[in-house]
Chain A
């Protein structure tokens, strides 16, 4: 069995035509003015890598490139050279299909179970000092860019704070680290929970409410985020998703990579919104506040934002927006409120 190859001595870029064959148990490499009898420890054979030329690397830095892979395989069989496991896996479409399925299963189970579980475990291990610092940083940056001081009368702020303090919570419930009032015409009526457990209520939301029970209902929802550290978990999960998508999609274009990452992260935040709604239903029930209060303000919030949302686009918002559609939230809320009544 003779295999033709191109030989380079590693000192010069000149090409030599050589032949490879097995002789007396040694690999014989010979051509014009070249003759090497190689023992197995004097060379390395590159693994098969698709149809790329096979490479024989000599310990002295010389190399052979072999394009006739069929003949070379036969020579390798004579040499008893074993392909690596990885090269073996890449060989057959059966293996590749199985591996594709395993990868898909690993990635989806990681996305649906592994990552949320890991993020939850980590979120509860982050120390209080750290959380205080995180919120301090965040408040500073949003105060600089998005927020203005609240124009609510101090007495009104105190009244809302007092009602929040009086609120009965389920046994696992956690009160916010602090309640802050801010105004932001840019954002409109809204309330947020920061990763460290600070709740920010915007003046616009207080204006939109018809009574304090509605504000408490919104706060009950935010307390769900505080209790389960949703904002922190969202940051952890989103950063892993972002890195993974970036790694998978690679260098195509960062703009194209953002869309799938955002879509994937949206699912996580929708889950958190649902959980916060369930928590709110529980709190409202404990404090004998009808769940209507939450739907009422939700409806007004929605009207405030977009005047006409048709049935079809509402379906779309449910998929793309972070908050589940209001009608769906209403149904789930009343279900969990009435549970065990």
Chain B
């Protein structure tokens, strides 16, 4: 029986260094009216991936900027013509939207495949094996049902998406697996819903009371304080929710004998995001690269892996899945679809 030793992931990127990369990327993207942004994306991702270290090796990104560029052109034409037609000829606009929605699962699968196939660790590529049919269920059907059920099915839909994304991934010849349960998704969601509700009631009674008793200047202050409390309090609760969900998802993800441990703290993450936002605003955007580094550094630093065996012996068994996948990768295109 070997001991379980956690292996932390670490991020070694530096703000001052990334600032240089960021500003050159920005300048060239503006000068080329956005065309360079595909090349900029590759440099940015390579910087972040190569500074993500695990067991003395780094991740790497292999995306071809020209492929990303082509994907962006397609996306630009699609969404551009949609927003043009929705204003001028709603009939064409709406049928275009329906078309985009129907093609969405296919585009998503392509984009996940592109992202994972172009990520490597120790010379082995990651891969994505999710089917378009399952993507259709997870990204169109379930969200639609959750909408029709007034959100009651939302945690189920969220679990479905997570399960699809996690268990379709692989590293070399080893698949990722997700063990989370629908019950836990419901528990986390319901607790958040209840906390938001309780918090709202508290703010309304407390703030409302204060506003009704104060007069003149004090009234204005009371209103402002109530609005700020409402805004930041709700943001904080939503932050707690997303952190709990992310921790839960990672803690129930495995790769062969490897288990992941995520120890994000909502308070720290909230403080980092808040101070980042403020500094970006005060520096007219120039703090952005430092903010990105701070956030990534914290997020990655909270993640570690655990194995019963020695990680090197686990890794030694991992082999490349297919040798000749080069051609297939070359014809894929990337679509930047944000989640």
Minimum CB–CB distance for A307 against chain B, Å: 12
Shortest C-beta distance, A52 to chain B (Å), equals 4
Complex Cα gap A9–B319 (Å): 10
Is the C-beta of B291 less than 8 angstroms from some C-beta in chain A?
A: yes
Mask of B54-74 contacts with A, CB within 8 angstroms, 1/0: 001110100000000000000
Q: Which residue of B lies closest to A62 (CB)?
A: B123
Shortest beta-carbon distance, B251 to chain A, in Å?
23
- CB of B24 within 8 A of CB of A90, answer yes
Mark the stretch among A20-28, A72-80, A255-263 that contacts chain B. Answer: A255-263
State which of A14, A91, A256 has its C-beta within 8 Å of the C-beta of B315: A14
Task: Tell me if A13 and B47 are in contact (CB < 8 A).
Answer: no
- Beyond A49-B21, A49-B50, whether A256 also contacts B277 by CB under 8 A is yes
Known pairs A250-B288, A252-B291; A8 contacts B87 (CB<8 A): no
A10 in contact (CB, < 8 A)? yes
Which chain B residues lie closer than 8 Å to A65 at the CB level? 57-58
Residues of B within 8 A of A103 (CB): 23, 26-27, 30
Complex interface: stretch among A94-102, A182-190, A274-282, A323-331: A94-102
Contact (Cβ within 8 A) A11 B280: no
Given contacts A13-B124, A86-B43, A260-B281, contact A53 B320 (CB under 8 A): no
Q: Are A99 and B27 CB-contacts (below 8 A) given A12-B318, A13-B316, A51-B17?
A: yes
Task: Compute how far the CA of A52 lies from the CA of B45 in the bound complex, rounded to whole angstroms.
Answer: 12
A12 in complex: contacting residue of B14, B273, B319, CB < 8 Å = B319
Q: CB distance A55 to B27 under 8 Å? A: no
Q: Closest CB of chain A to B323's CB: distance in Å?
A: 8
A165 at interface (Cβ–Cβ under 8 A)? Answer: no
A107-132 interface (Cβ within 8 A of B): 107, 110, 129-130
Contact B50 A55 (CB under 8 A): yes
- Does B298 sit at the interface, judged by CB under 8 A? no
A50 interface residue, CB < 8 Å from B? yes
Q: A12 to B281, Cβ gap below 8 A?
A: no
> B329: shortest Cβ distance to chain A, in Å?
12
Residue B28, interface by CB 8 Å:
yes
Q: Which of A10, A13, A53, A110 has the most CB of B within 10 A?
A: A13
Evaluate contact between B58 and A252: CB separation under 8 angstroms.
no
In the assembled complex, the Cα of A86 lies from the Cα of B19 at a distance in Å of 14
A89-B24 in contact (CB<8A): yes
A46 within 8 A of B: yes
Tell me, in angstroms, the Cα distance from A63 to B19 when the chains sit together: 28
Q: Which residue of A lies closest to B121 (CB)?
A: A13
Give bound CA distance, A129 to B20, whole Å: 48
Are A50 and B13 in touch, CB under 8 angstroms? yes
CB distance from B191 to the nearest CB of A (A): 22
Decide if B94 is an interface residue (CB 8 Å cutoff). no
Nearest A residue to B37 via CB reads A247
Asked whether, in the complex, the Cβ of B280 is within 8 Å of the Cβ of A256, the reply is yes
Given contacts A13-B121, A248-B285, A252-B276, contact A96 B316 (CB under 8 A): no
- Measured in the bound complex, the distance between the Cα atoms of B33 and A110 in whole Å is 11
Which A residues touch B155, using CB under 8 A? Answer: none
Measured in the bound complex, the distance between the Cα atoms of B56 and A251 in whole Å is: 29
Within 8 A of B (CB), among A41-76: 46, 49-53, 55, 61-63, 65
Beta-carbon contact of B320 and A12 below 8 Å: yes
Inter-chain contacts of B273 with A (CB < 8 A): 252-253
Q: Is the CB of B122 within 8 A of A252?
A: no
Tell me whether B288 and A12 are in contact (CB under 8 A).
no
Q: Are B21 and A106 in contact (CB under 8 A)?
A: no
Q: Give Cα A133 to B276, complex, Å.
A: 43
B4-17 CB mask vs A (1 if < 8 Å, else 0) is 00000000111001
**B328 contacts A by Cβ under 8 Å:** no
Whole-angstrom CA separation of A103 from B20 in the bound complex: 12
Task: Give the residue of A10, A102, A133, A259 whose beta carbon is less than 8 angstroms from that of B124.
Answer: A10
Q: How far is the CA of A110 from the CA of B34 in the complex (A)?
A: 14
Rounded to whole angstroms, the CA-CA distance of A13 and B281 in the bound complex is 44
- Bound: A256/B272 CA distance, A: 13
B50–A53 CB distance below 8 A: yes
When the two chains form their complex, are residues B291 and A14 in contact, meaning their CB atoms are under 8 A apart?
A: no
Residue pair A90, B20 in contact (C-beta under 8 Å): yes
Interface string of B86-124 (1 = CB under 8 A from A): 011110000000000000000000000000000011111
Q: Cα distance A89–B47 when bound, in Å?
A: 16
A177 smallest CB distance to B (angstroms): 16
Closest partner residue, chain B, to A64 (CB atom): B123
Measured CB to CB, the nearest residue on chain A to B86 is A137
Whether the Cβ atoms of B123 and A96 lie closer than 8 Å is: no
B169 sits at the interface (CB 8 A)? no
Residues of B with C-beta under 8 A to A134: 87-88
Of residues B23, B26, B320, B338, which shows the largest number of chain A Cβ atoms within 10 Å of its Cβ? B23
**A36 at interface, CB cutoff 8 A:** no
A-B pairs with lowest CB-CB distance, top 3: A8-B123, A52-B50, A50-B17
Apart from the given pairs A52-B46, A100-B286, A248-B26, 6 other A-B contacts in the complex at a CB distance below 8 Å: A13-B315, A49-B43, A49-B47, A55-B60, A137-B90, A249-B280
